[in-house]
């Protein structure tokens, strides 16, 4: 993942759970475990709770970077957490590699370092106890030490495969490697892939139907040059023993991003979450890549079957998908990430979104989330999975001004809705015209006003206004996005009756009452 340089408009920091009409709980939570910074980077959903892995820092005590394993109830409330840390040792578990094993335990892999860099595998039980740890050195140790753990999965024989990026030439570039472990976590072998003078980054790992593996990543030179970039999607197929069978690269001369996530399809094909870009010069010697998100499918012979771009208002150097999962009913693929958009104000900002693509590549829906007047910057999703009720849970990080930065967890329903019914079409009047609706939830409310607008269109001068019971203007917000869920903090407002108004210049198009209590 990348750091986003723009101030982000983000929609969602609800502290209440919402029970939708479809029987699915939705919520948006900030989790404060007591550290100065928390990054959730792995999530497992069960019928009774959610498990999350994270990295944390604490700058009050002697500085350290540690690992945390947490448990939330189905309403997103923190039940308990356990940590692993030691002063003087840095733990880095920022990638999505938390899995639930066949015997009901949980495994995460992280990088760690003091005087020597290595990987650590940690096994937890459902009560969050750490029951087993083991450390592993990189494939080129001791000459080259640095390694980054990317993904872990359990094999059909109950052994494990762990995907790494490892240092190859004095930190100039990284290559891709995979560590194979037996069921007792003993090392069987290391395999190295895609070792070239360019940088290869490992990003995704899935089991293939034949017991082999499919690795997703990229090949690029952006760490070596300032212009004339090479950036290609890289996919590697291995057999069950880890031997490479084939390699696929996106077309030469085009800029395609990392294979952030892979889903095998019933027809033997492969759906890939990635991005596609163009290089723009910024001066005589430097360039930048501006990206749009993209989902594409390869058929069983690795021919391109379809490409679906997922665009914001403009391409951006920081647009990137974080994760993709298949809908539980087989109706398509849901991605989450960030994009540049006119989300809650006319000025260009960064927003967080979810989008769904059908099995044939049609764009089905996109949900945007907008945070009005918040103090939170750079909230970004790092992981996502399906939930037993057919919805989706997303987790990631925030950066907050002047206070500890919490972790962030969002639960939406199967339609990607945080506010119930966001997917429903406009109602139609007797004259056959779409009506304007403002959906507010909950109402009454105490901390946040959460609302969703349905309207046939939005003009460039459309805005929301909030007035109190005496008609005095309390807040005014411009908007050009009809697909966004809006969240306004009202915890310090005076209790009473307010009106949310949808305006076009001085003309009020719709109004809804809400109560602050």
Distance CA 39, CA 371 (A): 19
pLDDT score at 2: 35
- Domain of residue 451, residue span: 437-516
Q: Which of 301, 330, 359 is the last residue of a domain?
A: 330
The string of pLDDT tens digits covering residues 467-483 is 999 999 999 887 756 66
Q: In CATH, what number is assigned to the domain containing residue 105?
A: 2.120.10.10
| Domain-embedded: residue 257 | yes
The string of pLDDT tens digits covering residues 384-435 is 999 999 999 999 987 655 566 788 898 999 999 988 888 887 666 556 666 7
Q: Which of 312, 330, 348 is the last residue of a domain?
A: 330
| Domain-embedded: residue 38 | no
The string of pLDDT tens digits covering residues 100-154 is 999 999 999 999 988 888 999 999 999 999 999 999 998 988 888 888 889 999 9
Position 190 pLDDT exceeds 60: yes
Please give the C-alpha separations between residue 511 and each of 239, 464, 477, in angstroms, as whole numbers: 61, 10, 14
pLDDT score at 86: 84
| Domain-embedded: residue 105 | yes
| Domain-embedded: residue 32 | no
Helices (H) and strands (E) in the chain, counts: 0, 38
| CA atoms 74, 77, 80, 84: torsion sign | positive
Residues 60 and 176 in one domain: yes
| Domain-embedded: residue 14 | no
pLDDT score at 13: 39
Classify residue 45 as exposed, middle or buried by CB count within 10 Å of its CB (0-12, 13-18, 19+): buried
Q: In CATH, what number is assigned to the domain containing residue 489?
A: 2.60.40.1930
Position 266 pLDDT exceeds 60: yes
Classify residue 502 as exposed, middle or buried by CB count within 10 Å of its CB (0-12, 13-18, 19+): buried
Residues 72 and 219 in one domain: yes
How many distinct structural domains can be found in the chain?
2
The string of pLDDT tens digits covering residues 48-64 is 999 999 998 876 555 56
Tell me how far the alpha carbon of residue 38 is from its chain's centroid: 15
Residues 313 and 449 in one domain: no
pLDDT score at 336: 95
| Domain-embedded: residue 239 | yes
| Domain-embedded: residue 69 | yes
Q: Which of 330, 352, 377 is the last residue of a domain?
A: 330
Residues 107 and 234 in one domain: yes
| Domain-embedded: residue 200 | yes
User: What is the reported pTM?
Assistant: 0.88
Residues 325 and 445 in one domain: no
């Amino acid at each position: 993942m990348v750091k986003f340089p723009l101030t982000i408009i983000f929609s969602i920091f609800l502290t209440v759970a919402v029970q939708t009409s479809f029987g699915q709980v939705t919520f948006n939570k900030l989790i404060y475990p007591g550290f100065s910074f928390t990054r959730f980077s792995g999530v497992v959903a069960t019928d009774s709770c959610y498990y999350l892995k994270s990295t944390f820092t604490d700058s009050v005590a002697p500085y350290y970077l540690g690992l945390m394993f947490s448990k939330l109830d189905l309403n997103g409330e923190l039940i308990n957490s356990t940590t692993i840390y030691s002063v003087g040792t840095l733990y880095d578990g920022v990638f999505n590699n938390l899995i639930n094993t066949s015997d009901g335990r949980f495994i995460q892999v992280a990088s760690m370092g003091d005087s020597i860099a290595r990987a650590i595998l940690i096994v937890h039980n459902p009560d969050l106890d750490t029951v087993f740890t083991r450390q592993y050195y990189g494939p080129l140790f001791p000459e080259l030490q640095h390694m980054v753990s990317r993904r872990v999965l359990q094999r059909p024989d109950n052994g494990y495969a762990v995907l790494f990026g490892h240092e190859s030439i004095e930190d100039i570039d990284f290559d891709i490697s995979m560590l194979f472990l037996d069921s007792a976590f003993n090392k069987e072998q290391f395999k190295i892939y895609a070792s070239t003078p360019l940088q290869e980054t490992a990003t995704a790992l899935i089991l293939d139907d034949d017991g082999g593996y499919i690795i997703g990543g990229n090949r690029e030179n952006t760490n070596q040059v300032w212009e004339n970039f090479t950036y290609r999607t890289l996919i590697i197929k291995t057999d069950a023993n880890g031997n490479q069978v084939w390699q696929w690269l996106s077309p030469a001369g085009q800029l395609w991003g990392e294979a952030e996530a892979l889903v095998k399809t019933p027809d033997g094909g492969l759906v890939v979450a990635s991005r596609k870009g163009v290089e723009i010069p910024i001066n005589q010697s430097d360039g930048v890549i501006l990206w749009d998100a993209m989902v594409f499918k390869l058929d069983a012979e690795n021919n391109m079957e379809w490409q679906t771009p997922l665009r914001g208002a403009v391409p951006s150097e920081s647009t990137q998908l974080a994760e993709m999962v298949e809908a539980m009913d087989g109706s398509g693929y849901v991605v989450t990430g960030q994009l540049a958009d006119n989300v809650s104000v006319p000025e260009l900002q960064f927003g967080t979104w979810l989008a769904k693509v059908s099995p044939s590549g049609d764009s089905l829906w996109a949900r945007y989330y907008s945070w009005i007047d918040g103090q939170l910057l750079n909230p970004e999703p790092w992981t996502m999975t399906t939930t037993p009720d057919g919805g989706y849970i997303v987790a990631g990080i925030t950066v907050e001004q002047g206070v500890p930065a919490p972790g962030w967890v969002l639960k939406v329903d199967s339609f990607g809705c945080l506010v119930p019914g966001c997917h429903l079409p406009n109602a139609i009047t007797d004259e056959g015209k779409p009506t304007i609706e403002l959906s507010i939830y909950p109402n009454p409310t105490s901390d946040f006003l959460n609302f969703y607008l349905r309207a046939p269109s939005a003009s460039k001068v459309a805005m929301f206004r909030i007035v109190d019971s005496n008609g005095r203007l309390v807040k005014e917000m411009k908007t050009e996005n009809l697909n966004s869920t809006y969240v306004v903090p009202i915890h310090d407002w005076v209790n009473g009756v307010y009106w949310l108004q949808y305006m076009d210049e001085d003309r009020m198009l719709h109004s809804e009452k809400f109560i602050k209590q």
